[in-house]
Structure 1
Amino acid sequence: MNQTQTKLASSATRQRLSSRRRFLKQTAIATTVACVPYHLTASRARAESKSSRPQFALIGVGGNGTRTAPVGKEFADLVALCDVDSGHLEAGNQLLCDGKADLYSDYREILARDDIDLVQISTPDHWHAKILIEAMLAGKDAYCEKPLTLTIDEGKLVRQVQKQTGRVVQVGTQQRSSFDKFNKALAIIADGRIGKLKRMVVGIDSGGWSPEIPVMDVPGELDWDRWLGPTPEMPYRYLANPKKGNGYTNGHTHFRWWYEHSGGKLTDWGAHHFDIAMLGIAAAGQNNDPVSVDGTATHDVEFKGGMPLQADRYNTARAFDLNVAFADGDVVMNIRNDVDNGILFEGDQGRFFVNRGKLVGKPVEDLVTKPLPDDAISKIYRGMPMKQNDRHAHWENLMYAIDKRVLPISDVHSHMKMLNVAHLAGICCRLGRKVNWDQSTETVVGDELAASMMKRPYRAGYEIEM
C-alpha cells in the first residue's frame, strides 16, 4: 500500500451507511436499557461463537492513539487506521500493524464496515463527540479518549445515544483503573479514614503559552479542512520553536491551547483529577452534585463576551484559582495551577495526597498496621475484576464490559457529570464571573450568556449525522 491507497468514501458506501444508520436508529429507539446484546452485525457471530477475537479500528493515529492502541491489540485485532494526515497513517501503519492495516482518511468508511466491532477514538478533542455518536449509531462499541466532549450539550446527546443503542463506551480516564494509587485513595476515603470530606485541592499545572503565530501553508500531507471538522474555519498557523521540535501551532499536538478545539488544562489534566476528586466525594457518602464555579483566571489574550479577541496565539487559561461548590455545602474543590499536580484530600480527621507517582500521608502510613478490608478495592470497581494498572487495566475492563454488556469503569454518564464541571470552569474563566449550575436540569442558571456557552454551532458539512 502507498499513500494513494487511502480510501475515500464512495457514493455507494455513503448510501449504504446512511441506510444502515436509519435502521440502527429505528432499532435503538426501542431500546431503553443501558446495555443490550450485540445485534445484526458480524460482532454477534463472534460474540456467540467465542471462536475469534474482536476486530477494532483506530481513528486518530497521533500520540495518544499510538500509545493506547498497542494495549488494545492484546485484546483485539487492529485491522484499520484512519487519520486526516497521510503521514500519520503511513507511520502508524508501520508502527502498529507492520504495514498491513486498511487505511482511511474518512472515519465513516470504518463505521460502514460490519466486520469491525469497536473503535478507538483518539482524535483531537473537537472530533470526539461527533465520531462517538455516529459510531454508536453504527453499532460499534468504543474506547474514546478524554475529554469526551467539547461542550455540555454534546455530553447530553452522547448519553442519550448510549442509552438508546446500548453500546459500551470506555472513556480514556485510565486513572480509574489504577489499583495501587487512585482507587486505593478512594477506598481510604470510603472506609472513613479521613472522616467527613471538607476540601480538595486539585493541581493541574499551568496552561500553554505561545508568541504570535503566523499563518503558514498547510503541510502537504494534512487535510486541514477535515482536521478542523466541526470547528470554525481558520487559517493554519505554525511557528518553529528551537526548544521543541513540534513548534507552536493551532494544529497537531497544540490543539489543547485553543478554546475552538479544546478547554486547555481544565479539560486535559482536569478531566483526570476532577474525576477522582468527585468520586472521592461520593466515596465519602456526600453529595457531589456541583452547584457553582467561581474564581480567577489569567489568559494571554483579551476576551469580550467570552470570546478571544486575538486569533494568533494560544487562548486557553494559563493560570487559575477556582472553587467548585457542591450540593453538600461542607465540601469544596479548589482548582489551581501553582501546586503539585495531583489531589490533596482533606477531611475532618486527616488528609493525604495522591497523583500518578505517589500516595502519601498519615492515613496511608496507617495502612501498615490497619489495612483496608479485603473487599475495599472491589467495591470501588463495582465488583468487576481488575488485575493490572492504567491503560492495560482500562482496556481489560472495556473487554469485560463488552462481554457482559455492562457499563465499564469509566462510563459516559459518570464521566460527563465530572466533565461538566470542567466545562463550567472554562465558562467561568472566559467570562470572569461566577457560574451557577442546576444539576437537576443540567443547566446554567441566572446567566443567559453563560448558558448559551453550553453549546457551539457546527460548521456546515460537519454536523452530527443522526
Structure 2
Amino acid sequence: MSPRPSDRRSFLKTSVATAAAVSVPYIFTSQDARADEQKSSESNDRPLVGCIGTGSRWNAVGPNAMQLGDVVAVCDVDANHANGAKKKVTDIQSKKGVQRDVDVYEDYQKILDRNDIEIVTIVTTDHWHSKIAIEAMKAGKDVYCEKPLTLTIDEGKKICQVAKETGRVFQVGTQQRSEMGLKFLQAIALIQAGRIGDVQHVAVAIGGSPTSNSIPVVDVPSGLNWEKWLGQAPLVDYRWAKEGKQTKTRCHYEFRWWYEYSGGKLTDWGAHHVDIAQWGIGQNGDGQGASSIEPIYAKHPVEFKDGMPLQDDRYNCATNFHVKATFDNGVVMDIKDSHQDELGFNNGIMFTGTKGRFLVNRGKIVGAPIDELKDNPLPENAIAEVYGGKDPARSNAHMANFFECVKTRKLPISDVFTHHRALTTCHLSNIAIRLNRSLKWDPKSEQILGDDQANAMQSREARKGYEVTV
C-alpha cells in the first residue's frame, strides 16, 4: 500500500525532525578494544557474537547467547533499544568477568563487515529476517534467527538456497523443538513409537490476531529511524495510540498484526505449532508439504480486494480463521484460531491416529496414550533419538544446540529447511484466506497450480534499495 498524498506529506513532516537525529548512523567503537577482541578470540574458544535487533524478544535471546559466547556488538534502528542492549550486555558479561567494550551500530552491515564476529543473532521484525539472514550467511556468519523466519514463501526458498551454498549453521528460534518441558519432543517420540497408530488428523489451535481502532499518525519517536525500520515494506506514516492499557502501533511488537510486516497468528504461532504438527506427520522434508489448502472461514478487521487490505490505519490480520490443509499422505490438518469440539482448546496440537489421540501444548500433554505410559513407558533413549542423539534435558537447550552445531557443523534441531516447509503451509493459508479461495500446491516444484494471482503472492515487491538478493 502506498500512502495517500496527504499521508506522504505527513510522513515527510514527521520524519524531518527524526532525520536530524538518525541521518548519521550511531557507531561507537574502540580501536584498542577491537585489537583486544582479536587477541581474546585467538585464546578463547567462546565465539564472538553480534546481535542484530535488540527489542523485547532479544531480552531472552541475547542473555541465552551470552551463556555460550561473548557479545561484542549490538545493532538496532532504534537507538533506545541499542543503547539499552549495550548496557545489558556490559552488565551481564562483567558479572562473568568478561571485560569488553560493546560496539553500538544502527546499520547491521557494520556487524557483518567485522571479521572477528563469527555468530549473529537476528531478532528484528519479521519482514527484515530474510534479507539480514541471507547477507549474514554470505558474509560467513553462522546465524540464530527468531521465528517466523520469513514473510513470504519466496524468501524461504532463497534462504534454503543460500544455506546450502554457504554451508553456514542456521538455527531458527522455534524453542518448542528443544524446551517447554520436553512435551513436544515427547509427542514426536510417541508418534514415532506407534503409540497412536497411523496419524490421520491433526487439529492445530493458534489463536486469532487482535483488532484496533483507527490508529492516528503521530511524530516518529526520538531515536527511531522509521524509514530504515520499514526497510523492504512500503513507505508509510508512523502510527501510535493508547487504547485503554494497550499500545496500538505499526511498530514495535504490534507489527505482528500487519500483513506488511508479518502474517498474524498464522505465522506468529503457526511457526511453532504447525512446525511440530508437520514434524509429527512426517511432512517437513524436502518435497513434502500440503497439496491443497482450503479456507473454511476467515474474518478480517478490514476489507480486502485482490488479497490486499483497503485500509492502512488499523490492524489487518485475520482475527478468526479455519484452514483445512490436506497432505499427500492422506493426513488432514485443521488450523484454527481455536477448536470448539468436545475437547475445545485455544492453543495446542491434537494428534489423532488409528489407535488414539492426545493433546500437547506448552502447559500439558494429555490423553489416553499419555496415561498408558505409566505401565508402558517409552524406551529410555526415545526422546534423545528424536533430538538427534543429544540430551535436551538442560537449561538453555535450544541455544546450546546451536552453539554445539557451530562447532560440529552439523544440522541443528530447528534447521531452515524443515522450518521453511512448515512456514510454507502457514503462508499458503494466509494467501488462501486473503483471496478467499482454495489453492492447489505442488510441494516438489513449490508452485501454486492454476492460479497466477495466488502464485504471485509467494513474493512481494521490495522498496528500492532494500531488495532481497541471493
TM-score normalised by L of structure 2: 0.86
What SS does the aligned partner of 2:459 have? Answer: coil
Contact between 1:200 and 1:332, CA under 8 Å: does it hold in 2? Answer: yes
Match of 1:409 in 2: 413
Correspondence 1:9-408 to 2 at 5 A: 51-98=44-91, 100-178=101-179, 180-244=182-246, 247-282=247-282, 289-295=289-295, 296-329=297-330, 331-338=331-338, 339-388=345-394, 392-408=396-412
Shift of 1:293: 1.1
Contact between 1:53 and 1:75, CA under 8 Å: does it hold in 2? Answer: yes
Shift of 1:52: 2.9
Match of 1:449 in 2: 453
Q: Which consecutive residues of structure 2, in runs of 5 or more, have no partner in the other structure?
A: 1-20, 30-36, 93-100, 339-344
* Distance verdict in 2 for CA 1:250–1:349, change over 3 Å: same
What SS does the aligned partner of 2:458 have? Answer: coil
Shift of 1:89: 1.2
Query: Deviation above 6 Å: which 4+ runs of structure 1?
Result: 2-5
Shift of 1:465: 5.3
What SS does the aligned partner of 2:220 have? Answer: coil
* Structure 1 vs Structure 2 CA RMSD: 2.3
What SS does the aligned partner of 2:282 have? Answer: helix
How many angstroms apart in 1 are the aligned matches of 2:77 and 2:283?
42
Shift of 1:416: 0.2
What SS does the aligned partner of 1:433 have? Answer: coil
Q: Which amino acid aligns with 2:431?
A: I
What SS does the aligned partner of 1:429 have? Answer: helix
Contact between 1:202 and 1:336, CA under 8 Å: does it hold in 2? Answer: yes
Give per-residue Cα distances to partners, 1:346-383, cap 9 Å, x unaligned.
11111111011111111111111111012211221122
Give per-residue Cα distances to partners, 1:73-129, cap 9 Å, x unaligned.
110001111000011112222223239421000000000000001000000000000
Shift of 1:463: 1.5
Shift of 1:68: 1.2
Count of aligned pairs: 425
Contact between 1:186 and 1:283, CA under 8 Å: does it hold in 2? Answer: no
Contact between 2:28 and 2:104, CA under 8 Å: does it hold in 1? Answer: no
Contact between 2:152 and 2:427, CA under 8 Å: does it hold in 1? Answer: yes
Q: Which amino acid aligns with 2:239?
A: R
Contact between 1:66 and 1:96, CA under 8 Å: does it hold in 2? Answer: no
How many angstroms apart in 2 are the aligned matches of 1:6 and 1:362?
58
Counterpart of 2:429 (choices 416, 425, 429) is 425
What SS does the aligned partner of 1:72 have? Answer: helix
How many angstroms apart in 1 are the aligned matches of 2:128 and 2:104?
19
Q: Which amino acid aligns with 2:233?
A: T
* Distance verdict in 2 for CA 1:8–1:311, change over 3 Å: farther
Q: Which amino acid aligns with 1:228?
A: L
Contact between 2:215 and 2:249, CA under 8 Å: does it hold in 1? Answer: yes
How many angstroms apart in 1 are the aligned matches of 2:356 and 2:441?
30
How many angstroms apart in 2 are the aligned matches of 1:155 and 1:334?
23
Contact between 2:25 and 2:106, CA under 8 Å: does it hold in 1? Answer: no
- Identity among equivalent pairs (%): 47
More displaced 10-residue stretch of structure 1: 174-183 or 202-211: 174-183
Q: Which consecutive residues of structure 1, in runs of 5 or more, have no partner in the other structure?
A: 10-41
Shift of 1:436: 1.2
How many angstroms apart in 2 are the aligned matches of 1:58 and 1:51?
19
What SS does the aligned partner of 2:57 have? Answer: helix
Counterpart of 1:434 (choices 427, 435, 438) is 438
Shift of 1:242: 2.5
Shift of 1:207: 0.7
* Distance verdict in 2 for CA 1:446–1:187, change over 3 Å: same
* Distance verdict in 2 for CA 1:103–1:272, change over 3 Å: same
What SS does the aligned partner of 2:157 have? Answer: helix
